[in-house]
Amino acid sequence: MDAYKAIVSKRDSRSYVDKPLDEGALRRILQAGRMAGSSKNTQPCRFVVVRESEQKARLAGCGQFAQHVPQAAAAVAVCLPPTGGDFDAGRAAQNIMLAAWNEGVASCPVSMHDRDCARSVLGLPEDWRVAVVLALGYPAPGIPLGRGIQRLSLEEFVRYERWE
């Protein structure tokens, strides 16, 4: 897919069909996360790929809006050490979700509101945390991507030289 088209057409989606991810696609998706730039090239993020049903169900129990995680073909937990920041996690997550969309795979970031729960389920070192879980799956047919909420206009988003 053309890069611009992939970027502007990507919508977060929580409805997936029951079909495992193509192995080559998953590898490219993870490569995209690996290649994300980071502050001073510290490469802080690590990814835990969860595909087993029981693990997905446990992860779903750590977030307030994570009910769809078990339906996802895979959940990729983006994990950070104490020195890592959410900005770099956002860059890596966006790379992962755009590469997924380029493979026809829909995705949605899922917050782990109970941090201790997510850390325990994934067996992370004590000082690490899950910045976000990315649910990935081939999109369910007939369900519109996103929830139909429009973006604000470009003029609303952009100012020139100064705020006003």
Contacts with a second copy in 66-95 (CB under 8 A)? 79, 85-91, 93-95
In the complex with a second copy, the residue whose CB is nearer, 30 or 117, is 30
Taking every pair of Cα atoms in the chain, the longest distance, rounded to a whole number of angstroms, is 52
Span 129-148, contacts to a second copy by CB under 8 A = 131-132, 146-147
Among 22, 28, 117, 140, binds a second copy (CB under 8 A): 28
Structure tokens at 62: 């750590």
**Could you tell me if 108 and 134 are in contact, meaning their C-beta atoms sit under 8 angstroms apart?**
yes
Among 31, 82, 113, 144, binds a second copy (CB under 8 A): 31
Helix (H, G, I), strand (E, B) or coil at 72: coil
**Could you tell me if 47 and 97 are in contact, meaning their C-beta atoms sit under 8 angstroms apart?**
no
Site string for a second copy, 33-72 (x = CB under 8 A): xxxxx-x-x-x-xxxxxxxx--x-----------------
Distance CA 103, CA 98 (A): 9
**Could you tell me if 108 and 102 are in contact, meaning their C-beta atoms sit under 8 angstroms apart?**
no
164 binds a second copy (CB under 8 A): yes
In the complex with a second copy, the residue whose CB is nearer, 51 or 70, is 51
